[in-house]
């Protein structure tokens, strides 16, 4: 049976952030993830996790000025020092929260940039981060993201992520496979996840179109959950979707035994 983690950046937005941990536990989640922890005190976050018996499944490396539209800096030649400082800061938070996976959002390619140079910078940065995280027992993930939601996002297909992993030559670099993003960019979800299961450390979900909860769109999640059980996926599935009509009211899919149980 899949293990679902509540993405507290998107779910339970009806509540202040620190109250979302209790709400996630009450709704039946045992793990949580969110985009960034850096605006909060490490001890306060850790206390929320401990109080409610929750696992911190994932958070991202610092990704530049998010409010200004940046979606990562790992590809930018003039931001290497900032990226490396961000890796060190992320490790501090991950250790405090006992978080075993960190995701790297690579960034939006500048219009006038040479893709080959961006790829070279990215590979060097990922090599640095993968090595630093491995020393702490933390996995580094990279996530392909669709270019409809984020035009110009540099990493946008599974094959590209796998090629990067080959170039970096680290056994501590994995794919974060977001079903929603990859449905938009390439489809063939079940076969792709099965073929590359060894390199997929984390999965996220949302339905398409709309990025709402499973059952609101075109993706056959009942089939995919059975498929993931059948192929032996044992990681977490992050619920990174926009509730269509309130978080709790939209959790019926998770309670539907015909959708989430194998058989």
Tell me which residues are annotated as active site: 143, 240
The string of DSSP codes covering the chain is: --EEEEETTTTTTTS-GGGHHHHHHHTT-SEEE-S--TTS-HHHHHHHHHHHT-EEEEEEPP-S-TTTT----TT-GGGHHHHHHHHHHHHHHHHHHT--EEEE---BPPTT--HHHHHHHHHHHHHHHHHHHHTTT-EEEE----TTTSTTBS--SHHHHHHHHHHHT-TTEEEEEEHHHHHHHT--HHHHHHHTGGGEEEEEE--TTTS--TTSSS--HHHHHHHHHHHT--SEEEE----SS-TGGGTHHHH-HHHHS--
Q: Which residues contact 150 (CB under 8 A, 6 or more apart)?
A: 71, 108
């Amino acid at each position: 049976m899949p293990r679902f983690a509540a993405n507290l950046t998107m779910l339970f937005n009806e509540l202040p952030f620190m109250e979302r941990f209790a709400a996630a536990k009450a709704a039946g989640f045992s793990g949580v993830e969110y985009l960034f922890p850096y605006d909060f005190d490490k001890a306060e976050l850790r206390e929320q996790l401990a109080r409610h018996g929750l696992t911190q499944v994932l958070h991202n490396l610092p990704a530049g000025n998010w409010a200004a539209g940046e979606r990562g800096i790992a590809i930018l030649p003039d931001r290497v020092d900032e990226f490396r400082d961000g890796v060190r800061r992320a490790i501090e938070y991950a250790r405090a929260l006992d978080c075993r996976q960190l995701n790297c959002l690579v960034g939006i390619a500048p219009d006038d940039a040479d893709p080959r140079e961006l790829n070279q910078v990215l590979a060097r940065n990922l090599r640095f981060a993968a090595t630093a995280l491995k020393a702490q027992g933390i996995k580094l993930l990279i996530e392909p993201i669709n270019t409809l939601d984020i035009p110009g996002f540099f990493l946008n297909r599974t094959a590209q992520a796998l090629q990067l992993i080959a170039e970096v030559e680290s056994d501590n670099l994995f794919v974060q496979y977001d079903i929603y993003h990859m449905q938009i960019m390439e489809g063939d979800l079940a076969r792709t996840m099965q073929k590359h299961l060894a390199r997929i450390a984390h999965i996220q979900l949302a339905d398409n179109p709309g990025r709402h909860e499973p059952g609101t769109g075109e993706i056959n999640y009942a089939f995919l959950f059975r498929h993931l059980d059948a192929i032996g996926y044992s990681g977490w599935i992050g619920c990174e979707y926009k509730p269509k009509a309130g978080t709790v009211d939209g959790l019926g899919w998770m309670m539907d035994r015909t959708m989430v149980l194998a058989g």
